[in-house]
Structure formats: C-alpha cells, structure tokens
C-alpha cells in the first residue's frame, strides 16, 4: 500500500513505521529499535481483550523513548485494524487526550521509566522487569509464586525489536526475571503473564 497520504503530513506528525519509513529510520539514532507501532498495537489488543482486564484486574501503561507516559483506560476499545490504530496513535501524540471529553487515553511528558515505576504504580506493588537471560524460570512457576506472595504485580516489558532497556531497570525494580535465554516478543511475554495470573487468582469461573 502506498504511503503517499501519510507522507503529506509534516514529518513530526507522522508515526514512524519501520515497514514504510525504512530510510528515514536508518538516519535516526537507534533507528533499528524504533518505528514499531505494531508492537504496541498487539500489546494493547491482547491485554484489553483478556478476561483479566474485563474483570478490572489489569492496567496497561506505555512508556516511550522520549519519556512520555501513555495511560490507557481498561474500558478502551482499540481498533483492530492496524492502519486505523496508527491514526489513533498519531492523534494521541498530537492532542494528548483522546477523546477530548472524558479521555480514555492520555499522554504526559517528563516521565523517565524510573519515575513511572516510582510514581505511576500503586504503593507497595511488587515491580519486576523481564529480559532474556541464561538463568531463567518458567512463567507457569514464577507467576503463581508471585501471586501467592503479592496481591499486586507490575511487570516492565521491553517493547523494542532489538537490544536492552536504555534505563538501568535493575536499579529501580525489585527483581529482574527471565523466561528464557532468547528474547521473546512482547505478546508472548504478555500472554504468559496474563494467563497464569488469571489462573492463580481465579479470574475465570
């Protein structure tokens, strides 16, 4: 599909998409880690559609490399079509509150990942960061154990296609956990966390 329509817009208003803006991304710092709104799209769909979310047990936050914090209300219905989702995301970056009246999605600047962990999460919540590593645990073991120990759990997942967190996540989370030696996709990790948390806390039935 031709990107003609989207390139008519001012570049600063265009959401970078690696499948359309390959050359532009190559010229940007860390371009190989950027331009993947599809990762956020599926992350939100899988989370918002889950039984855990429908029962009020899930909060989804998105932190950007420019230290923006995007909050998505649990009752938000994200469009399933990718091109429409890109339009929504561009609107969020432009207007900061969508819809303008009683917003479901909000964007605020000035949030480092450390500040998100320290100030945007409930007091006392157990915060873990996930990354690949040689020493790992099965999600079907780790999640139920955490559910037994803590009423609430926050997990930081990297939403970039390559490399490590830019922030020192070990410095401001309680533990860094690994589910495997190789990187898993955002939705693979999210699937494991949600399904096992639901089973451990009795969300179904």
Q: Residues interacting with its own copies, by CB under 8 A?
A: 1-2, 4-6, 17-19, 36, 38-39, 42, 45-46, 49-51, 79-84, 136-141, 179-180, 184-185, 187-188, 191-192, 194-196, 198-200, 202-205
Nearer to its own copies, 107 or 193 (CB): 193
Q: Minimal distance in Å, beta carbon 157 to its own copies?
A: 14
Q: Minimal distance in Å, beta carbon 175 to its own copies?
A: 17
Q: What would the two tokens of residue 17 be? A: 């998409």
Q: What would the two tokens of residue 65 be? A: 């490399």
Nearer to its own copies, 35 or 69 (CB): 35
Nearer to its own copies, 39 or 69 (CB): 39
**DSSP states of the chain as a string?**
---HHHHTS-GGGSPP-TTT-HHHHHTSTTGGG---HHHHHHHHHHHHTSHHHHTT---EEEE-TTSEEEEE-TT----SSHHHHHHHHHHHHHHSEESSSS-SEEEEE---HHHIIIIISPTT-EEEEE---SS---HHHHHHHHHHH-S-EEEE---SSSS--SS-HHHHSSEEE-S-SS---HHHHHHHHHHHHHHHHT---
Q: Minimal distance in Å, beta carbon 115 to its own copies?
A: 30
Q: Minimal distance in Å, beta carbon 145 to its own copies?
A: 12
- The contacts of residue 135 (CB under 8 Å, 6+ apart) are 178
Q: Minimal distance in Å, beta carbon 201 to its own copies?
A: 10
Nearer to its own copies, 103 or 133 (CB): 133
Nearer to its own copies, 9 or 151 (CB): 9
């Amino acid at each position: 599909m031709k990107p003609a329509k989207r390139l008519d817009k001012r570049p600063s208003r265009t959401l970078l998409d690696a499948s359309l803006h390959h050359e532009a991304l190559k010229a940007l710092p860390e371009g190989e880690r950027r331009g993947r709104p599809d990762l956020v799209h599926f992350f939100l769909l899988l989370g918002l559609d889950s039984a855990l979310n429908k029962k009020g047990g899930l909060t989804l936050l998105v932190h950007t490399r420019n230290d923006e914090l995007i909050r998505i209300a649990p009752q938000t219905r994200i469009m399933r079509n990718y091109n429409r989702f890109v339009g929504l995301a561009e609107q969020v970056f432009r207007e900061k509150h969508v819809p303008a009246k009683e917003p479901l999605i909000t964007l605020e600047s000035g949030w480092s990942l450390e500040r998100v962990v320290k100030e945007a999460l409930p007091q006392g919540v157990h915060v873990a960061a996930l990354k690949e590593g040689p020493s790992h645990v099965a999600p079907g073991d780790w999640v139920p154990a955490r559910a037994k120990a803590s009423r609430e759990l926050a997990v930081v997942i990297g939403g970039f296609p390559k490399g490590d967190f830019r922030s020192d996540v070990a410095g401001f989370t309680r533990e860094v956990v690994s589910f495997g030696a190789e990187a898993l996709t955002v939705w693979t990790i999210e699937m494991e966390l949600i399904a096992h948390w639901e089973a451990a806390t009795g969300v179904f039935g």
